[in-house]
Chains A and B, each alone.
Chain A
Amino acid sequence: MLRSRGVNLQEGPRTNYKERLQDIMLRRSSRRRLVDKVVSISAIFSVILAVILLGSILIEVVINGARALSINFLTQPPGAIGSGLGGIGPAIEGTLIVVGLASAIGAPVGVLAGIYLSEFAGNGIFPSSVRFFSDVLVGLPSIVIGIVAYISLVLTLGSFSVWAGALALSIIMIPIVVRVTEETLKVVPNSMKEAGHSLGIPKRTIILHIVLKSAKSGVITGIILAISRIAGETAPLIMTILGTDLFFTSLTGPVDALPLRIWRLVSQPYQYAHDFGWGAALILILMVLGMSLGLRLLAHRRGFKIGTIAA
């Protein structure tokens, strides 16, 4: 972009570009080396800092949580407050149910909406506003979604329920999955789709078997991120599933969940309850880790093995 103001070829003798450029580059290069060094050192430093922080949290949780672990702790309902007995069985069960339900709703809806936005929608008013509101929703504090679920589901239906919790969590999940799916599908090269079309493959099959397949690991990462996020949510659960000492009875009744249980345990004045809280936190982390590994394995298993010919 030559601005007419800055370009005046008539003026002055022509300089030797090569020399001038080399001069600038040389001056730049010593500075660049310094900048390079500073950037890489601070990058390494930040990585170390992050690892130390994360690692120390993990170690703290493992050390403190391991003390609480026992078969009873994992399978029993909480005992009387202050007794030091019981466990977090209902909370584990409740988290599995609520997060499982929320993912069963949120992942397919999110992926389908993401496919719609990237492959069918174009840039009209409707898809643009869907994108905009997804972004807003991602940034919304989860307690707001809790309040909405409380007013629209709990109050109108008259009771705290698993459904309300699962729906609230799926609403947190959907926009994350939508945006990640859309962005991942968009970077699948157009030449793939073109190749598919040129073979007379119907569009839905192209999307399912070619586009989605190349974008698989990105989409799975999005789903894992979203599930991890909702597994640790507390605020919307207080207002939807409430939390209870009892095992699951029905989808329309209250249920317990790990984040709620952790919060309850830690707010008690007993040492054993704090240990239980650490234990519950450890279990939550292990569950998220297990889910993440499991999904990744599932995604990787179907590799290049299909259809080898006996020649």
Chain B
Amino acid sequence: MKKISLNALGALFAKIASTMKLYAPIEKAGQVDFYEWNESEKVRLDVLKTVKSAKDVFFPQVEDLLKFRVEGKSIEMNEAPKCEDDFVVFGVRGCDARSFELLDRVFLVDPRDEFYAARRAHGIIVTLACGAPEESCFCTNFGIDPANPGGDASAWIVGEELYIEPHTERGAALIADLEDADASSVEAAKKEISAIAERLPFANLDLTGFDGEHLMEKFDDPAWERLSKACLGCGTCTFVCPTCQCYDIRDFDTGHGVTRYRCWDSCMYSDFTLMAAENSRHTQLQRFRQRFMHKLVYFPSNNDGLYSCVGCGRCVAKCPQNLNIVKVIKALGGKKA
């Protein structure tokens, strides 16, 4: 265990950033998201949840894949460069840290996504324990411990100090110069976090019946009508979600060529699953159902029972009309045919 005073963090960040890119929760125009760090940025480790999750760092909202350039009769094709240098993501919460493992199950299986894979191979993750979980948090339902968030190293804020415990060699190398510390105050902080986690309003959700066996029963449940009624089909829930993984690939006409890029897509949108004939999901009910069935039924039935939700509660806090996965779990869960 190492420690550093919160006041000295800027120096640690500057040191890391002198050799590689560093991403951290940074405030811009009043909102906090993961951005690349430099001295002039305002880091907000006190903010529990960034608006968008940390997934952005590995799977950005928009990225170029390929450029075509047309000159006369020739077409030149250039693949976008892949990440080649190590970088650090600092201050990732336990829920977001777990989400990377879930994304791996999509992007690192055959056919492997090389853009994502390169970033994963080079990313060093420093997590941060959650001093004050919020009412929307329900990570513990998925076996995530907000007091022990994992990654290459984990950090805890106790008073004016930041304690860091490395878990891997790459994590240890980052903080090798810091002063050694006694772990007892961290142990006390962990106990406090666990005590709050137990009192969270959504701490004990009943997930029985969310599995492949009950697929049709869940799919046909009449409750979807009511649950999806107010849905705007906006996509806020999918874009703030650390485990939503769908994307679209589009071409941008540059005038003398094409830039092929990928961007996040949302199953909540009317042109998602648009095929030559039509969109197979005609109504918002069907789109809404897709999002939650994917997370709670389809994904676990293909991935050893792992749910594609880490309980970060962003959809709970951010849906403009207060629809969310907790509501779905409560309405459909706990039932066994």
Query: Do A and B interact?
Result: no
User: Which residues of A are in contact with B by a Cβ distance under 8 Å?
Assistant: none
